[in-house]
Chain A
């Protein structure tokens, strides 16, 4: 028995790599893994609320098919054959309720499946359910879900982060070893940091957005959350690649991150942006990240301070561009073709009543903000100005990447905070300050657990140049393997045993 097995008494495979190995050697079946996943959900999810809906029939069929394949010919089994996964509820799954955490889409059953999801299904994954999230992926605490907040497995009185809070909590609580989230301004990386798991936002255009319910189309990207960087790298590899159904998906070849994952950081130059350690950074998080930088140095990386001077304006830029795109994307919820319909009489009354009743406060706020920024007389001052500042932000990253191979910094300025303590919208927006620049520039970014602050996880963010996704993962992996943060288990465990 390994140390981990002795510690937890029983020896269930937990990571994707462990599950795959156990499935192939026949020490566990896909049906057993699914049963274990369901037992965890049954024991923990009444409190955590990571799942909005279960896809039991689909999961049973997928597990049975996986077990047949593994029994007959394990050598040809696809990479995730029999591995349970969860999908953020903004990803369409044909025939299964997909709500984006919104009342306006309650009961919506998509007529097709998102490309990223289909690729996981083709890889043999067993989809156990749809993960809770902030409504239309708008939020940093998962408190904006119409179906109730997700609670952090490390402390049930605290938020898991957002918007992929359910995807992060489900992995942290070992309900599933892998989930898909989406990241528009930090929505994979920030909840990963707050829940003590790994979250990876790929380069913009690397993963198809077809079948992803759109929030801000120039920023949205699908990515994996997992217990280890290796698992996240595999999840990423499986969903990445060109898709003719998404005109913004890149035709350039995907570099497989796995072969070079263990090459370490010796000789790499890592930039530490001084603006990311400014006011608002929790002293405990700062200390954890600074220790992480020491670890990277001890592994042979060269660290140097760099400057991204426009960082301070990135949040404002984001909170114009993202709501502007959202106000356009969410115009489709009109009570005509799908979802909720309210109001009688004229079509205009249907629009007004449906959208008032169907959207929650944060979504309305952003639609209003975006509509204002795009409206006649304000377009130049807000939207056009923001798109210019966005250019500066991208150029500053490009300039820094002439000198360094990657950037390392905190993922979130704070650890998980108590539910209900950030009711002022601006105070919530400020939490995204270290993640939004990465989306504005379309870069790959990964968050990896880097310490505990007062019993709560902190995250280290690694940002690489466009399409250098494999490099970001390699650096995160080197750090992860030199530390033990990713092996810590959240407090909710006690409730399950």
Chain B
């Protein structure tokens, strides 16, 4: 089993990974091999089994809705690659 380069490119775009041709070709083979191994799952009968949502056993975790000190603008922006001191600055979002 191997993915096609187009399939890899499609998934890479969903994941916002700008892969080059060499990476795309390599991942097509590697992911194919991994998926083939994983297909072992289909041998397990799960017709009468519910999905696990979580293993913590907790249900409806609530907290009081109360004011707390926020992180603050300066701290929130401290690690930004680009900001104007008030906002994160990014490139163009919409096509012109």
Contacts and interface: CB of A to CB of B under 8 A. Distances in A.
A364 B31 CA distance: 11
A466 B54 CA distance: 13
A204 B56 contact: yes
Interface in A197-243: 204-205, 218
Contacts of A394: 52, 55
Interface string B8-47: 1001101111111001000100110111011111111010
A344 B93 CA distance: 12
Interface string B52-94: 1111111001010000000100011011111000001011110
Contact of A387 (B51, B76, B78, B93): B51
Interface in A16-36: none
The B contact surface, by secondary structure, is loop
Q: Of A320, A375, A388, A429, which is in contact with the most chain B CB atoms at under 10 Å from its CB?
A: A388
Nearest to A382: B38
B56 A346 contact: no
Contacts of B15: 327, 355, 367-368, 371
Contact of A320 (B27, B33, B38): B38
Interface string A178-204: 000000000000000000000000001
Interface residues of A, number: 71
Given A319-B34, A336-B90, A248 B46 contact: no
B34 to A, nearest CB: 6
Contacts of A426: 33-34, 37
A339 B16 contact: no
A345 interface: yes
Contacts of B19: 356, 364
Contacts of B61: 247-248
Contacts of A441: 55
A319 to B, nearest CB: 6
Contacts of A368: 8, 11-12, 15, 17, 27, 31
A367 B27 CA distance: 11
Contact of A364 (B14, B23, B51, B78): B23
A277 interface: no
The A contact surface, by secondary structure, is helix
Contacts of A310: 44
A317 B37 CA distance: 11
Nearest to B16: A351
Contact of A350 (B14, B27, B90): B90
Contacts of B81: 335-336, 338-341
Interface string A244-271: 1001101100000000000000000000
Q: Of B3, B49, B63, which is in contact with the most chain A CB atoms at under 10 Å from its CB?
A: B49
Nearest to A245: B63
Given A205-B56, A364-B17, A394-B52, A389 B44 contact: yes
A212 to B, nearest CB: 15
A375 B13 CA distance: 12
A337 interface: yes
A4 interface: no
Nearest to A372: B11
A205 B56 CA distance: 6
Q: Of B31, B57, B82, which is in contact with the most chain A CB atoms at under 10 Å from its CB?
A: B57
B18 A392 contact: no
A391 interface: yes
A334 B16 CA distance: 9
Nearest to A385: B41
A313 B17 CA distance: 29
A344 B50 CA distance: 47
A442 interface: yes
9 contacts: A218-B54, A218-B55, A312-B40, A313-B44, A345-B91, A352-B18, A368-B15, A368-B27, A388-B46
**Shortest 6 CB-CB contacts between residues of A and residues of B:** A352-B18, A442-B55, A341-B81, A338-B79, A387-B51, A388-B46
Given A346-B93, A368-B8, 20 more contacts: A108-B79, A111-B76, A319-B37, A339-B81, A343-B91, A344-B91, A346-B92, A355-B16, A355-B18, A356-B17, A364-B23, A365-B27, A369-B35, A372-B35, A382-B41, A389-B44, A391-B49, A391-B50, A392-B46, A426-B34
Interface of A: 107-109, 111-112, 204-205, 218, 244, 247-248, 250-251, 310, 312-313, 315-317, 319-320, 327, 331, 334-341, 343-353, 355-356, 359, 364-365, 367-369, 371-372, 375, 382, 384-392, 394, 425-426, 429, 440-442, 466
